[in-house]
């Protein structure tokens, strides 16, 4: 737990002056890039403090000329901040509605065009989230989603949620499968303890929704791509 406390202190010390400076700047200018960049810097500082080495492969495969939907497996709370910092350009993401209520942090999510989602399974709410995500894509901003909908407890892939693939078919945006492994050992589900080590993020070639007749076929193509970048024991 000592490492976790040290990471918390580093992030807190960096976040307070950054929030005081960059949140008003973003509101005044309407430009999210400076705030986005400093948040990514704080995340990298936290990982470095924890002794975590982030290893990225395949980022050159991401199209440079259009907004994409990044679809990743999910094995640790360490995944979202690190993945967002690895994605070229600016990405928004789906996030639990409850985190938008956190002072300052929730406001930053709103400024970054993050999309609140409910886990109640309500169809109307899900449609609203997909519609909001489509507007974000149309603005030129990427969307990042963890397609299992929750963290895997043992690292093995879980069934995928259908919502991100409905968004992909509606928008036509390329799907970028991302395989994440290593973080399941660095911060396991249900634990706040952070361990040093390597976190791997593998970007795969785009999967284009228009190449598939059904949502299920698209889902299977993305799943196969993600599984191909994982250690065999995680593929389920």
Chain segment 206-222, per-residue pLDDT in tens: 999 999 999 999 999 99
**CATH for 213:** 3.40.1130.10
Confirm whether 193 is domain-assigned. Answer: yes
d(C-alpha 15, C-alpha 65), whole Å: 32
Contact 180, 74 (CB under 8 A): yes
Residue 88: what pLDDT? Answer: 93
143 in a structural domain:
yes
CA 67 vs CA 5, 137, 139: distances in Å: 37, 6, 8
Please indicate, yes or no, if residue 102 is contained in any of the structural domains. yes
pLDDT at residue 103 in the model: 85
Instruction: Output the six-digit token pair for 203.
Output: 């970007």
Q: Are 10 and 95 in contact (CB under 8 A)?
A: no
Range of the domain at 168: 54-234
Question: What is the reported pLDDT for 121?
Answer: 63
Q: Is residue 95 part of a domain?
A: yes
What single DSSP character describes residue 148?
T
pTM of the model: 0.93
Q: Is 14 part of a structural domain of the chain?
A: no
**Regions in the chain scoring below 70 on pLDDT:** 119-122
Within a domain: 23:
no
Q: What is the DSSP string of 75-137?
A: --TTHHHHHHHHSSS-EEEEEEGGGGGSTTHHHHHHHTT-EEE-SS--HHHHHHHHHHHHHHH
**Alpha carbon distance 71, 83 (integer Å):** 11
Tally of domains in the chain: 1
Instruction: State pLDDT tens for residues 154-180.
Output: 999 999 999 899 999 999 999 999 999
Residue 80 belongs to a domain? yes
In this structure, is residue 48 part of a structural domain? no
pLDDT at 120: 64
- For residue 160, what are its two tokens? 């995928």
C-alpha span between 142 and 132 (Å, rounded): 12
């Amino acid at each position: 737990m000592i490492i976790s406390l040290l990471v918390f202190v580093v992030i807190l010390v960096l976040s307070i002056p950054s929030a005081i400076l960059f949140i008003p700047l973003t509101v005044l200018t309407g430009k999210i890039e400076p705030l986005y960049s400093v948040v990514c810097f704080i995340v990298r500082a936290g990982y470095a403090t924890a002794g975590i080495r982030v290893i990225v492969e395949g980022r050159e495969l991401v199209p440079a000329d259009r907004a994409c939907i990044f679809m990743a497996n999910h094995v640790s709370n360490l995944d979202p901040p690190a993945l967002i910092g690895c994605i070229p350009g600016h990405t928004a993401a789906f996030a639990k509605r409850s985190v938008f209520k956190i002072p300052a942090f929730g406001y930053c999510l709103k400024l970054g065009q993050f999309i609140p989602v409910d886990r109640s399974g309500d169809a109307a709410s899900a449609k609203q989230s997909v519609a909001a995500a489509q507007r974000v894509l149309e603005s030129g901003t990427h969307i990042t989603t963890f397609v299992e909908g929750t963290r895997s407890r043992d690292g093995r892939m879980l069934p995928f949620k259908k919502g991100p693939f409905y968004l992909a078919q509606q928008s036509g945006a390329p799907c970028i499968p991302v395989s994440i492994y290593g973080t399941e050992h660095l911060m396991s589900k249900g634990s706040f303890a952070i361990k040093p080590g390597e976190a791997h993020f593998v970007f795969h070639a785009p999967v284009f929704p228009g190449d598939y007749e059904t949502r299920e076929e698209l889902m299977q193509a993305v799943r196969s791509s993600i599984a191909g970048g994982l250690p065999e024991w995680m593929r389920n």
